[in-house]
Each structure stands twice: as C-alpha cells, then as structure tokens.
C-alpha cells in the first residue's frame, strides 16, 4: 500500500474485517491472530463503544452488544450516533460495522506499546497479527512488559482529556475542530496521530493540560497543518506529524506528577457501567439524587440508607464478584424533565439512562463539589457496614466531572466473607435490595463465599 493516500488506506481498511471483534475464536486462530494483543484491542474497542457485553451473555441480551445504524433502527442498545467514534466524526456509523474502530486501536496500540510508530498499512497490521512473525513477537514481548490494563487506562485517560478539550469554551465536535471548513469526512488517520501525540505528551512526558481552550485553538484546522499526502503513511512521516502535534499543544501543558490511571473511572468506564446496569441488575445500581424534586429543595436522608444497604447487598453477590453504584443517573424521562426545569441542566442520554449529575445538587445546597462528595464519604465512614467492606468502599469511591455534570461512583470491591449492615444481611434479587429473613436465608447467602 505504499504510495496510497490516507483516504485510500482508510477505504481499504473499511473493506477488511480481519481483526474485527465479530470473528469467532476459531476464525481468529485460523487467521493467526495473537491472543494477547487481539484481546487487548477487542476489549478496548468494546469499552469505548460502550458495549454492555458480559463474559457470559444470553441470546436475549445480544442486541445490547450490537450497533444500531442510523438508517436501520432495530432498537439495539448501542446507537451508532451515540458512540464516541461516530459522535465525534472520527468514523462513519457503517465503519463500526466493519470494525474500523478496532483497526484504529490496533494501530495506536502497536505504535505506543511497541515504542515506534508503525507504517499505516494493511501489511503492517498483517505482520503483527500473523503468528510466528518477527513483528508479532516484538509486539507480544513489548505488551508483556507494558501491560494490557495499563495501556487501556492510559488511552482512556487521553480520550477523556481530548473530550475536555472539545468541551472547552463553546462545545465542539472533534471533526469541527480538526477541519478548517465544514466536512463530513472521517479522519481515523489524523485521530491516531492525535492520540499518539497526547499519550507521549501527557503520559510519556508526565505533563497535564493547564489550558484546555488553548489546546483546542492549537489543534484547530489540524487536518491541513500536518502531512496527509501519499507519503504520510510511512513511519518516518507519521513521526513528524506526531511531533508537530506535540509542538502545538506543549505551550498549554504544565508538569504534572505521575498518577495511577487505574484508580479513577474514565468517561468510557462510566458509560460501560451505565449500560451494564441495564443488563447485570444484581451488580449495578443507579441513583438519581439526594434532593427532593420539589421546592423548597430538601435532602431525602433515606437515600443514603438505601445506598448503604445496596452496597452490602452487592458485596454479598459472592466471592470475586464486584459491582458499582452511580449517583446522578435516572431512567425516568419525567424526572429528567423536572430536573431540567428546576436546575437548568440538560441530561446526557446513555442507552436507556439519563445522566443528570450531582453538581446541580451541590449548587442547590450552596456547596462545592468537594463538599458534596464529602457527604457521601462521611455517610459510608459513619455507616454500620461491616469490615473490611466499609474501608474497601471508602478507598474506592470516586468523583468524576463527566461532561461537567459530575458523578459519584461507588465501587464495591470483591469480598471474601459475608458482609453485614449492622446485624442484618442484605442481598440482591434482580435490581432489588432485599434483607435476609432469618438465619437460614443468611446462611444460604454465606455459602456463596
């Protein structure tokens, strides 16, 4: 493919489904796909798409891991227009069906993990996915050292930072920032370079963005400011493009201390949890708020009690089971409409759920987001939850700005023993939190550990 333009490369990739998640395991083995790298790309693609797929998923839930294209509308849970790739204009909705997102991620992953930008071509990816090839072994060895989980968290962090850039000032789609003139063209090649540059600047150089609006101005019209000609698919030219992007954004960065990217939920992680909550009912719970939706605004202290009992119930799902509770999400259009009227907040739809956030509540209470967050931490700290569950939850509770709406994510780590709320045992029955009645039922739940 040497000598081809970026558009010609993209068109070829769109016709190739060699690395798509839709291939069966047997087909992957026949194609010589290396499991570790393939799994990394497939899982990361699912997370960014917002697929709510589980390790084991019944056929009745299969629509939840399918993509609904604008012209078909079968009612599948993952609507193409809502997916990051299409929403930002990086790919067309039909490109998701052809697994172009996985092609893009494979390119990014191989270039970052392998320590050098690969050529943007079918042949370059073929050599990585071809069993027993020298290039495949190089990437697998590099992945063993780098770590798949580390890479996933770092890339999702970079995507989060890019989304904050898009939201700075007047919110804009990435496509409208990248192109000087209005365009409907996808730009996976430019996005790949942008992600590599962000990763090298933020992760490699341990920088953080001090001026999101400044970065937005710096990358405006980027498509015409870097080389997108026929020669731009070569590794050396891609290196020049990545360095150009870093040069543009570096004036708006400051030194930042290293952070544990796995310790915080990314926007992508949150979207996945929200979608999973529609399917894996015992493991996830969404709560709307602590303020009553009427004037004057009053705190419903019963919400804290319900959430704490639900923490206990999720912990009792069994050994090695985890779960999450997100505060600031509703599944009722009527509640979202009332919040819109009371707080002037426009909810963000994720699947069948509506994110209304908690910053509006902090504002109504005349509190900072930090003070509001402290309410929840104190509720857990002062609760009758048994140990070690209480301390485990306290170390896992997280606040995420989430498009300026603000969400509180309460993670429930796996427990080795039965957990209690005071002297009572709670468990999940579908999406309900139920108290065990009598020692016999409590003993049955205890046998899960």
Q: How many domains is the chain partitioned into structurally?
A: 2
- In this predicted structure, what is the pLDDT of residue 58? 42
Q: Distance (Å, rounded) from C-alpha 133 to C-alpha 384?
A: 57
Residue 324 or residue 31, greater confidence: 324
- In this predicted structure, what is the pLDDT of residue 370? 94
Same domain for 278 and 148: no
Per-residue model confidence as pLDDT tens digits over 119-176: 999 899 999 988 889 999 999 999 999 999 999 999 999 999 999 999 999 999 999 9
What length does the chain have?
449
CA dihedral 360, 364, 365, 366 (to 10 degrees): 100
* Whether 240 contacts 17, CB under 8 Å: no
Domain final residue, candidates 213, 229, 255: 255
Classify the C-alpha dihedral 360-366-368-372 as positive or negative: negative
- Tell me the residue ranges of DSSP E strands in 38-175: 67-68, 78-79
- In this predicted structure, what is the pLDDT of residue 91? 95
Per-residue model confidence as pLDDT tens digits over 209-218: 999 999 999 9
Same domain for 285 and 235: no
Tell me the two tokens of residue 48. 């960014």
Exposed/middle/buried for 434, CB within 10 Å: 0-12, 13-18, 19+?
middle
Tell me the two tokens of residue 393. 């939850």
Looking at the domain assignment, is residue 1 inside a domain?
A: no
Looking at the domain assignment, is residue 17 inside a domain?
A: yes
The distance from CA 173 to its chain's CA centroid, rounded to whole angstroms, is 18
Tell me the two tokens of residue 190. 């430019």
Same domain for 224 and 274: no
Same domain for 434 and 341: yes
Same domain for 320 and 205: no
* Range in 111-120, 287-296, 354-363, 421-430 the model is least confident about: 287-296
Looking at the domain assignment, is residue 424 inside a domain?
A: yes
Q: Cis omega (within 30 of 0) on the bond before 296? A: yes
Same domain for 409 and 275: yes
Domain final residue, candidates 225, 255, 285: 255
Percent of the chain past pLDDT 90, that is, above it, reads 66
Domain final residue, candidates 210, 225, 255: 255
- Tell me the residue ranges of DSSP E strands in 242-346: 253-255, 284-287, 323-327, 329-330
- In this predicted structure, what is the pLDDT of residue 82? 79
Per-residue model confidence as pLDDT tens digits over 226-285: 988 888 899 999 999 999 999 999 999 999 765 555 557 888 889 888 888 888 889 999
208, containing H or E segment: strand 207-209
The distance from CA 50 to its chain's CA centroid, rounded to whole angstroms, is 7
Q: Which domain holds residue 100?
A: 6-255
Same domain for 246 and 301: no
Tell me the two tokens of residue 299. 């705190």
* Range in 68-72, 94-98, 187-191, 409-413 the model is least confident about: 68-72
Same domain for 85 and 18: yes
Same domain for 207 and 301: no
Tokens 């309410």, residue located = 375
* Range in 71-85, 336-350, 378-392 the model is least confident about: 71-85
Same domain for 290 and 333: yes
Q: Distance (Å, rounded) from C-alpha 419 to C-alpha 388?
A: 9
* Whether 142 contacts 114, CB under 8 Å: yes
Same domain for 117 and 241: yes
Same domain for 312 and 173: no
Tell me the two tokens of residue 147. 């770590």
Looking at the domain assignment, is residue 342 inside a domain?
A: yes
Beta bridge partners of 79: 68
Q: What is the mean pLDDT of the chain?
A: 85
Looking at the domain assignment, is residue 222 inside a domain?
A: yes
What's the rounded mean pLDDT across residues 58-65? 42
Q: Distance (Å, rounded) from C-alpha 412 to C-alpha 112?
A: 32
CATH number for the domain spanning 317: value is: 3.30.950
C-alpha gyration radius of the chain: 23
Put residue 73 in one of left, alpha, beta given phi > 0 → left and psi -120 to 50 → alpha.
Answer: left
Whether 350 shows a pLDDT value over 60: the answer reads yes
* Whether 371 contacts 377, CB under 8 Å: no
């Amino acid at each position: 493919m040497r000598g081809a333009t970026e558009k010609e490369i993209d068109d070829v990739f769109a016709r190739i489904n060699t690395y798509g998640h839709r291939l069966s395991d047997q087909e992957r083995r026949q194609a010589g796909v290396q499991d570790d790298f393939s799994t990394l790309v497939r899982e990361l693609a699912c997370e960014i798409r917002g697929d709510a797929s589980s390790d084991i998923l019944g056929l009745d839930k299969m629509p939840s891991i399918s993509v609904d294209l604008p012209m078909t509308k079968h009612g599948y849970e993952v609507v193409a227009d809502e997916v990051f790739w299409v929403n930002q204009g990086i790919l067309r909705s039909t490109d998701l069906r052809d697994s172009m997102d996985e092609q893009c991620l494979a390119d990014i992953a191989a270039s970052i993990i392998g320590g050098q930008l690969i050529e943007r071509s079918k042949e370059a990816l073929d050599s990585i996915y071809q069993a027993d090839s020298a290039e495949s072994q190089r990437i697998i060895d590099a992945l063993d050292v780098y770590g798949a989980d580390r890479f996933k968290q770092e890339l999702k962090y970079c995507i989060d930072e890019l989304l904050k850039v898009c939201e700075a000032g007047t919110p804009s789609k990435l496509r409208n920032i990248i192109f000087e003139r209005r365009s409907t063209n996808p730009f996976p090649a430019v996005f790949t370079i942008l992600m590599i540059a962000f990763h090298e600047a933020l992760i490699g150089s341990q920088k953080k963005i001090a001026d999101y609006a400044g970065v937005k101005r710096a990358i405006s019209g980027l498509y015409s400011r870097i080389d997108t000609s026929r020669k731009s698919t070569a590794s050396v030219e891609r290196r020049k493009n990545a360095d150009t992007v870093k040069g543009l954004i570096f004036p708006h960065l400051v030194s930042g201390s290293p952070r544990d990217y796995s310790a915080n939920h990314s926007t992508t992680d949150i979207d996945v949890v929200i979608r999973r909550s529609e399917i894996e009912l015992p493991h996830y719970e969404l709560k709307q708020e602590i303020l009553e939706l009427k004037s004057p605004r009053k705190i419903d202290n019963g919400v804290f009690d319900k959430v704490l009992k639900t923490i206990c119930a999720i912990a009792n799902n069994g050994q090695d089971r985890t779960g999450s509770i997100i505060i600031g999400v509703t599944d009722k259009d009527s509640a979202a409409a009332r919040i819109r009227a009371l707080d002037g907040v426009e909810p963000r739809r994720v699947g069948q759920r509506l994110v209304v956030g908690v910053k509006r509540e902090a504002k109504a209470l005349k509190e900072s987001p930090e003070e509001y967050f402290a309410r929840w931490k104190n509720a857990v700290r002062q609760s009758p939850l048994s140990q070690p569950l209480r301390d485990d939850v306290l170390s896992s509770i997280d606040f995420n700005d989430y498009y300026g709406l603000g969400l509180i994510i309460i993670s429930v780590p796996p427990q080795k023993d039965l957990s209690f709320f005071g002297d009572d045992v709670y468990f999940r029955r579908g999406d309900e939190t139920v108290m065990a009645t009598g020692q016999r039922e409590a003993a049955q739940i205890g046998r899960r550990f």
